[in-house]
Structure 1
């Protein structure tokens, strides 16, 4: 007995749970722990400073797990964009056949990866973008609701609607991303037509996540109102943990008369956010977290977490099934 979804069958995993790519979090220690626990662990390519560093991280992860794992490659606007093709070539050369893509204009990278039959999971925040990704030949869509951490898009549509729309309109299997942390969420996603779930913030709050214990405790102590949306003024809306720096950034965004992003830039520095995960000062810089922080209350190992999710999901599905009893039609 076990889960038998399009996702588990295609990826060769036991549980339909994907650990999403996260900047400064998706290292080998976490990805291997998730894969060893039956889910799909994912390395974050651009956490590595060069393609060759990614090669080393892939080999490190392979030494820590015999189970499938993937790599996230996110394409975002940049004054000096990374060499995405070189990162993709390392992924190909190292024999990784599962890649999570996201961001702008992924066509060339997807074409490069699909040339060697890579399984592509592409993240989208709207049905329109999802349909565009289908034309590129992706294998799974990761439908990212407004609840998610990081880049939420500009349409503010939650997963209850997005997943229903995905089921109605998309001809490609999809997984649910944004707002998931437990087996009840997995059962709900499956009921809405998803083939599994993607979790980011929940995996940040595990023993194996390579971030400071004080950050994990801040997640445990927070509730669902402790995030904030920044950079909407520049149509690059991002959900962050609502710490002091985020609040300062919001003040600048709202009160700036020039509307120049340069006024905002010092507050949303990725380098400062990286330091938060290392030094544990949760107010040192901005860092991403989803609204799901409101339902995270502990810091388990990945093995403990995924075992719990499996039990909860099975229990929730059994309970739902028990709510309906087929009765003979009345003869009246």
Structure 2
């Protein structure tokens, strides 16, 4: 169906659809479900807990024989060189063939990974970052528009412009991230130069997502204006659900909670009002909680419907 697509060739997945490597969320239950559905799951390693990463990795391999990858968040790993070396050595020992890098300079790992036969895609939110990553030898790019959830570059460029700018200046495969929840968004991303898409918020609001049901329901209930950007010192910003807590922090009336407190209160405890879970602007396009398989299959079917609709305009 996607024969000849470079993203499919690199990942060996059936569909050029990635699941974002979201902290705490992108672990065995979600990653294995995504890969089993024919898309491409990515295991997160932001916690720098090698025992946890190993446990989740083994659980994914036990749950599905379909391909998946691992994300390396450069900024978090380089803070501890010993832990950094341990996770790279461990990763190479697992015979994993696909890795994404994010939050930093991929040049730190690219040569080591590629010499071991690993394909490397780098996630970036800027044209400069994209060009720099290509210069150090990455095989592809995940281009994150400012619609995306979580920590963001303060210099916001949304997907419609960013994808075109990166496509104009690079020739590597592009995976679009930000604002995509279905086949219509996937077709739009392809029209702008992408060869694959990444979905995060859509997979958070899935049956297999490990977060509390209240968090999922809050995403479903969010209007198109239902997210808010908050400062994330020292320089970045972060997009999350527009909740009483988020509006209080934005207005200077409440102190921001540390990330681990939000994880405990929201992801585990389901306290929506007194936290703000990561969510992209695409939350306003999500209207129900669905299984991962339904999300993937509906997205692919919707993509081809849009392609057929556009092709009919030439008749």
TM-score range normalised by the length of the shorter chain? over 0.9
Which residue is equivalent to 1:35?
A: 35
Say whether the 8 Å CA contact 1:52–1:90 is kept in structure 2: no
Structure 1 residues 79, 52: closer, same or farther in 2, change over 3 A?
Answer: closer
Name the TM-score, length of structure 2 as normaliser: 0.94
Say whether the 8 Å CA contact 2:46–2:76 is kept in structure 1: no
Structure 1 residues 26, 98: closer, same or farther in 2, change over 3 A?
Answer: same
Match runs of 1:156-195 below 5 Å: 156-195=156-195
* Cα deviation code 1:185-224 (max 9, x no counterpart): 1111111111110111110010000111111001000012
In the alignment, is residue 53 of structure 1 matched against residue 52 of structure 2?
yes
Across the two proteins, how many residue pairs are aligned to each other? 313
**Which whole-Å CA distance do the structure 1 matches of 2:6 and 2:59 have between them?**
28
**Which whole-Å CA distance do the structure 2 matches of 1:213 and 1:180 have between them?**
22
Which residue is equivalent to 2:219?
A: 219
**Which whole-Å CA distance do the structure 2 matches of 1:118 and 1:246 have between them?**
40
Which residue is equivalent to 1:198?
A: 198
Which residue is equivalent to 2:260?
A: 271
* Cα deviation code 1:161-208 (max 9, x no counterpart): 111112211121111011110001111111111111011111001000
Which residue is equivalent to 1:259?
A: none
**Residue 46 of structure 1 aligns to a residue in which SS?**
coil
In the alignment, is residue 307 of structure 1 matched against residue 306 of structure 2?
no
Say whether the 8 Å CA contact 2:10–2:98 is kept in structure 1: no
Higher mean C-alpha deviation, range 105-114 or range 90-99? 105-114
* Cα deviation code 1:38-67 (max 9, x no counterpart): 0001111124x5213212211110001101
Which residue is equivalent to 2:277?
A: 287
Structure 1 residues 3, 316: closer, same or farther in 2, change over 3 A?
Answer: farther
Question: Rg larger in 1 or in 2?
Answer: 1
**Residue 237 of structure 1 aligns to a residue in which SS?**
strand
**Which whole-Å CA distance do the structure 2 matches of 1:79 and 1:65 have between them?**
31
Unaligned runs of 5+ in 1: 256-263, 326-332
Say whether the 8 Å CA contact 1:179–1:290 is kept in structure 2: yes
Which residue is equivalent to 1:319?
A: 309
Say whether the 8 Å CA contact 2:37–2:296 is kept in structure 1: yes
Name the TM-score, length of structure 1 as normaliser: 0.89
**Residue 206 of structure 1 aligns to a residue in which SS?**
coil
